[in-house]
């Protein structure tokens, strides 16, 4: 495997692992704050990111590359409110999307169409996740500081979390 691509894929393993831990911290914050639906949603997001990480680990190994299991930064675990939580979520997804674009760019530079092809799954996944994060944040911005709005948001997001678990 090309060295620069191996390095980028290892970076990507770290970003997915970091996102998984970040969403776990968000789930735990929501759980302890009484937002059970939001907690379920982030527990499920955390699992998804872990799956993204493992998919990369397996791929690099299959291709004969060297996987580096990363050391992670401490996740942010305290939030002012739901808006801050979902702003962080969107930012995290936008960051991951940007990093995936770097991998894709390098694949084209190196003419590694195999990795390029593999990464398309991540491109599609990111499109969906970023769109979802943006929609949820838009909803929260409409709700503002209305407590009953937050209650309904929490109830609605539980349905999203339940449907994710079935996937
Ligand atoms: Fe796998 Fe949403 O980053």
Confirm or reject: Cβ of 129 under 6 Å from ligand 1.
yes
Annotate 38-86 with DSSP letters as a single string: HHHHHHHHHHHHHHHHHHHHHHHHHTT----PPP-PPPP---SSHHHHH
Confirm or reject: Cβ of 92 under 6 Å from ligand 1.
no
In angstroms, the CA 47 to CA 40 distance is 11
pTM of the full structure:
0.95
Is the domain spanning 3-166 CATH 1.20.1260.10? The answer is yes
Per residue in 99-152, pLDDT tens? 999 999 999 999 999 999 999 999 999 999 999 999 999 999 999 988 899 999
Span from the CA of 125 to the centroid of ligand 1 (angstroms): 7
Confirm or reject: Cβ of 133 under 6 Å from ligand 1.
no
Confirm or reject: Cβ of 90 under 6 Å from ligand 1.
no
In angstroms, the CA 109 to CA 158 distance is 43
User: Which residues, including other chains, have CB under 8 Å from residue 101's CB and lie 6 or more apart?
Assistant: none
Per residue in 57-110, pLDDT tens? 999 999 999 999 999 999 999 999 999 999 999 999 999 999 999 999 999 999
Write the residue with the smallest CA distance to atom 1 of ligand 1: 49
- So where are the chain's domains? 3-166
Q: Of the candidates 125, 105, 114, which has an alpha carbon nearest to the alpha carbon of residue 8?
A: 105
Which atom from ligand 1 is nearest to the alpha carbon of 53? 1
Residue 3 — φ and ψ, nearest 5°? -60, -45
Contact 38, 85 (CB under 8 A): yes
Span from the CA of 148 to the centroid of ligand 1 (angstroms): 30
Write down how long the chain is: 167
């Amino acid at each position: 495997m090309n060295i620069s691509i191996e390095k980028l894929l290892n970076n990507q393993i770290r970003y997915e692992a970091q996102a998984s831990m970040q969403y776990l911290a968000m789930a735990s914050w929501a759980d302890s704050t009484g937002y059970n639906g939001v907690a379920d949603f982030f527990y499920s997001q955390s699992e998804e990111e872990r799956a993204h990480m493992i998919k990369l680990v397996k791929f690099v190994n299959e291709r004969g590359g060297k996987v580096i299991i990363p050391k992670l930064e401490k996740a942010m675990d305290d939030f002012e409110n739901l808006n801050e939580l979902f702003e962080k979520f969107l930012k995290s997804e936008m960051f991951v999307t940007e990093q995936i674009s770097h991998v894709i760019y390098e694949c084209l530079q190196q003419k590694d169409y195999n990795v390029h092809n593999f990464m398309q799954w991540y491109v599609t996944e990111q499109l969906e996740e970023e769109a979802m994060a943006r929609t949820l944040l838009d909803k929260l911005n409409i709700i503002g500081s209305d407590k009953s709005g937050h209650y309904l948001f929490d109830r609605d997001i539980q349905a999203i979390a339940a449907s994710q678990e079935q996937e």
